[in-house]
A = this chain, B = another copy of it.
């Protein structure tokens, strides 16, 4: 099956919003084994919208649209689809009751134009929208499929996952299962080389790599007759991937590194504190982004000045003078001092040159030291950042702080 994703909305053409709908839908279709041939975006203009529809079907048998289903005069997607397919746009009484009930419940007055949202192409099947007033719809006519969803991602995404995806699977008489494998200490190209046998020429399960800033995610997907078969195929490939790169995987079910580290700490009954210099609070922010962090996370100190490092952490003036604030010794003393102050079982520290200025010949911008107190011992490790912009250095340092803890606990 070949598909065009057609997003409707003048705000897209103005560059006012980033078109994440096309990305989300394409990822879903990719998993389902449906080829996406084109992305097209058009404004709220009836003539051009109809033109685009005609063009979209030249090479494709399916078009998925988002946007233009709302109650205002600008919202014309449904009307143009009716014209293109020669369908009447008629009232669906059950949908009308739902729209009326929505307004009754919310206490707002239902204006006349809201009735528009209960009209659909006569042969369409509606797609439920529990997150808004405009339902989507699915129309199958003359060998062509059109699927129409609302524009707001908070409405479109659940509709794609809960309404569209099961129907597409049913059409293919298939079940789908996916798994995200989270890797570390390996780049995308090295990963592709290591896993070539699983990528090249594989049709099911498929393995895709997604490169983040400093981490890569692998996604293994299988489409089979039954969910059980798909799951078995994914599990089998997962084992083989794990055997191939055993020291580069921290999660086989998509769990992010901060959540993995906090879970490990919790399981071992350990508490965590941090002191940060160049990352300036980003590590703590990442920790506390995980719900329930308070069960293991005690405190974090951002000791940006030398004075704060001495006062809060007891880093010795001699160390700062002799080795400088960015040194293995300072990182160690920070972690040690933090352990003394907090009593936390695991204490992590970081000090480095985030740039744009600063750094020395031996330790240029992008260099940082991560100190770790764990099991009564304190050690520091040196890292350098490739292409060290301020944001990249800080992000990389946060990653290495989590990784040092992860490796120590593993």
What is A's interface to B at a CB cutoff of 8 Å? 7, 12-20, 22-30, 36-43, 48, 51-52, 55, 58-59, 208, 210, 274, 276, 278-285, 287-289, 291, 293-294, 297-305, 307-308, 311-312, 341-342, 354-357, 390-391, 394
Docked pose: A53 CA to B169 CA in angstroms: 34
- Pick from B39, B342, B394: contact of A39, CB below 8 A: B39
Interface of A is mostly: mixed
Which B residues lie within 8 Å of A208 (CB)?
14, 16
Asked whether A280 lies within 8 Å of B288 as measured between CB atoms, the reply is yes
Chain B residues contacting A28 (CB-CB under 8 Å) are: 15
CA distance A387 to B246 in the complex (A): 42
Since A19-B19, A280-B284 are in contact, a sample of 6 more A-B pairs with Cβ atoms closer than 8 Å, ordered by chain A residue number, is A7-B39, A37-B43, A39-B41, A282-B285, A302-B302, A308-B342
Q: Which residues of chain B have C-beta atoms less than 8 A from A280's C-beta?
A: 284-285, 287-289, 293, 300
Residue of B nearest to A37 (CB): B48
**In the bound complex, what is the Cα–Cα distance between A19 and B41 (angstroms)?**
12
Taken together as a complex, chains A and B put the C-alpha atoms of A41 and B56 apart, in Å, by: 12
Inter-chain contacts of A294 with B (CB < 8 A):
304-305
B285→A279 contact, CB < 8 A: yes
B308 and A288 contacting across the interface, CB-CB below 8 Å: no
Contact, CB under 8 Å: A18 / B15? no
Nearest-neighbour CB distance to chain B for A212, whole angstroms, equals 12
Residues of B within 8 A of A16 (CB): 208, 210
10 A-B pairs with the lowest CB-CB distances in the bound complex, closest first: A280-B288, A281-B284, A15-B26, A281-B281, A15-B27, A300-B302, A39-B41, A299-B308, A281-B285, A282-B285
User: Is A38 a contact partner of B37 (Cβ separation < 8 A)?
Assistant: no
Among A24, A36, A303: residue with most chain B CB under 10 A: A36
Listed residue (A15, A28, A289, A294) with the most chain B CB atoms within 10 angstroms of its CB: A15
- A303 touches which of B25, B55, B281, B299 (Cβ 8 Å): B299
Q: A296 to nearest B CB, angstroms?
A: 10
Q: Which residues of chain B are near A281, meaning CB under 8 Å?
A: 276, 281-285, 287-288, 300, 302
A294 nearest CB across to chain B (Å) = 6
Whether B40 contacts A13 by the Cβ 8 Å rule is no
Chain B: minimal CB distance from A383 (Å) = 18
Max chain B C-beta neighbours (<10 A), residue from A30, A294, A391, A394 = A294
12 pairs, A vs B, C-beta closer than 8 Å: A13-B39, A15-B22, A19-B22, A39-B39, A51-B59, A279-B285, A285-B285, A288-B304, A291-B390, A297-B304, A299-B312, A311-B341
Whether the Cβ atoms of A48 and B52 lie closer than 8 Å is no
Of the residues B39, B284, B308, contact of A12 by C-beta under 8 Å: B39
| Interchain CA distance A41-B4 in the complex, whole Å | 10
Do B36 and A390 touch (CB < 8 A)? no
